[in-house]
A and B are shown apart, each in its own frame.
Chain A
Amino acid sequence: MSRTALTLPTDDPLWLKLLLGLAAIAFVGLMLILPLALVFQQALAEGLTAAWDAITTSNGLAAIRLSLIAAAIAVPLNTLFGISAAWAIAKFDFPGRTALVSLIDLPFSVSPVIAGLIYVLVFGMQGWLGPALAEHDIHILFALPGIVLATIFVTFPFVARELIPLMTDQGREEEEAAISLGASGLSTFVRVTLPNIKWGLLYGVLLCNARALGEFGAVSVLSGHIQGQTNTMPLHVELLYNNYDYVGAFAVSALLALLALVTLALKSLLEWRYADALAAIHRH
């Protein structure tokens, strides 16, 4: 062992550490922190009251309400789907399992605009079901059902892709033991599976919810952009911005950014404290 060397041979030299460290911080600062800081600076440019008033206009409140309704429908449905898909894929062997996992991930590689487009092609007036729906006076496009469909599509894989690897890792012995001892399927799930997956489930729901409240592209295609009726919060931001109401646009944005920060904080907390109870790799 060399006496002079105070550092390990696998340590980077100081100049390299400084160079890479500063490059990383500069890039994150410029690309991520600066836009975030700008949102809050612009929102508060005319004071807190102006920002608050801009958020609480009747159209603003209607947008918040619509976003919450869409998320309140989409998130539970996708959670139910995630649990069901993970149960089937992680606890059983059947042909086509891997293909099914890939198909569940599919919505992540589809542009949000294409997600909106496919429903227009199904439910639009020139679409498969459009004329039949119009006959019965059922409105899907440019109304709540379209917005909900778009939200479901873009948040489709979040819960499933968290639970599938987690439940696969955990195996099926505990559930098999419970069933063998006479527990019913439902009570096995509630009392054995659920406690094992609760943090992973929360993690998936958290990300699903953040995306549901923030989705823009897909919802934009399927919403009618009617103020106070079919505008969600991100669409409301667009409308205000395009009308040169920058304080309003950034005030609503700041609200969404706060939500994003809370989501990130909770997500980091889960990753630090319950890392063992989450799926091994977190790629979203």
Chain B
Amino acid sequence: MTQASLVSAPPWGRRRVLPGLGLSLGFTVFYLSVIVLIPMAALFIRAFEPGLDGLWRAIATPRVAAALKLSFGMAALAAVIDSIFGFVIAWVLVRYRFPGRRLLGAVIDLPFALPTAVAGIALSTLYAPNGWLGMPLAEHGIRVAYTPWGVLVAMTFIGLPFTVRTLEPVLGEFGRDLEEAAATLGATRLQTIRKVILPLLAPAILTGGAMAFARAVGEYGSIIFIAGNLPAISEIAPLLIVTKLEQYDYAGAAAIGATMLIAAFAVLLALNGLQIWMGKRR
């Protein structure tokens, strides 16, 4: 072949025509290791240094346990709210035509683009007892700012784009033939949505919800201003890590961090499993 003389084939793979695998892969793995993998390893090594017993003792204190419960519980609740409204918003964006639709679609990504500290002080001021929303709520005896509900509001804010953006493309490619068939067979529109559309969308709803959950569990900036940060009541786990670091309790901080990552990973794995199971059942 004349090509072979033109192309200096890399020694490790004569079939490859394109150059640069060694350089690009080498740089990729090096950069990934230095920035992400080695420091992440430091976290787990530090957390497990005192052994499983020691790790357990570090996270089984009432304050840490309450913070983990708050972060994971509220993140799950926020993911459910985001999934419901994410479905409604994606449905409206994909299926309906109305003036301002593109603007509505563009605004959805605001929580991605708006710095979390800005969102945090805005939400806090909005829901404070004298705020635009806090005042009318306070008249009905509902307090949001400086309570666990403030945590929920911030987590819902931060997670919304994940559910909308996951559902939108799936809904967009969704053929109408099944819906037509259901309508032909006499199903009402609501029956069609509930029995045909929602089950088919379930995997995408789960994916979006899982992403919103993962983001909410680790969220810090938008929460700390509105939460009030009362230990064991409205103190989230990431804030407790910061507190431990300020007290130079590196082992304690590492224990909470590793636990959060392992627990979040376990939840995501379980949701993934559920998705596969649903896919097989169909």
Interface of A is mostly: helix
A20 to chain B, nearest CB (A): 5
Kindly list chain B residues whose C-beta atoms are within 8 Å of the C-beta of A263: 113
**In contact, B121 and A241 (Cβ under 8 angstroms):** yes
Which interface residue of B7, B24, B132 has the most chain A CB atoms within 10 A? B24
B80 to chain A, nearest CB (A): 14
Which interface residue of B3, B18, B113 has the most chain A CB atoms within 10 A? B113
B271 to chain A, nearest CB (A): 13
A239 to chain B, nearest CB (A): 10
**In contact, B261 and A149 (Cβ under 8 angstroms):** no
**In contact, A92 and B113 (Cβ under 8 angstroms):** no
**In contact, B104 and A28 (Cβ under 8 angstroms):** yes
- Find B39's partner among A32, A108, A122 (CB 8 Å cutoff): A122
CB nearest to A17 among chain B residues: B96
**In contact, A122 and B38 (Cβ under 8 angstroms):** yes
B183 to chain A, nearest CB (A): 3
**In contact, B42 and A121 (Cβ under 8 angstroms):** yes
B46 CB–A CB distance under 8 Å: yes
**In contact, A113 and B220 (Cβ under 8 angstroms):** yes
A 219-253 contacts with B by CB, 8 A: 220-221, 233-235, 237-238, 241, 246, 249-250, 253
A238-B218 CB under 8 A given contacts A81-B28, A180-B3: no
Kindly list chain B residues whose C-beta atoms are within 8 Å of the C-beta of A121: 39, 42-43, 46, 250, 254
A42-B125 CB under 8 A given contacts A109-B268, A260-B113: yes
A72 to chain B, nearest CB (A): 17
Tell me, in angstroms, the Cα distance from A36 to B110 when the chains sit together.
9
Chain B: interface residue total (CB-CB under 8 A)? 99
A 1-59 contacts with B by CB, 8 A: 9-10, 12-13, 16-17, 20-21, 23-25, 27-28, 30-36, 38-39, 42
Q: Which of B56-64, B85-93, B142-150, B274-282 contacts A (4 or more CB under 8 A)?
A: B85-93
Interface string of B170-190 (1 = CB under 8 A from A): 000000100110011000011
List B residues at the A interface (Cβ < 8 Å). Answer: 3, 6-7, 16-21, 23-25, 27-29, 31-32, 35-40, 42-43, 46, 85, 88-89, 91-93, 95-96, 98, 102, 104-123, 125-126, 132-133, 156-157, 160-162, 165-166, 169, 176, 179-180, 183-184, 189-190, 192, 211, 214, 217-221, 225, 238-239, 241-242, 245, 248, 250, 253-254, 257, 260-261, 264-265, 268
List A residues at the B interface (Cβ < 8 Å). Answer: 9-10, 12-13, 16-17, 20-21, 23-25, 27-28, 30-36, 38-39, 42, 77, 80-81, 84-85, 87-89, 91-92, 94, 100, 103-104, 106-114, 117-122, 124, 126-128, 149, 152-153, 156, 172, 175-176, 179-180, 182, 185, 188-189, 207, 210-211, 213-217, 220-221, 233-235, 237-238, 241, 246, 249-250, 253, 256-257, 260-261, 263-265, 267-268, 272, 280-284
Known: A113-B238, A128-B42, A179-B18. 4 other contacts (CB 8 A): A31-B156, A109-B268, A216-B221, A283-B165
A-B contact pairs, 19 of them (CB 8 A): A27-B89, A32-B157, A81-B28, A85-B32, A87-B20, A88-B25, A88-B28, A117-B241, A118-B40, A118-B42, A126-B248, A175-B18, A176-B17, A179-B7, A210-B112, A214-B113, A217-B221, A221-B242, A234-B117
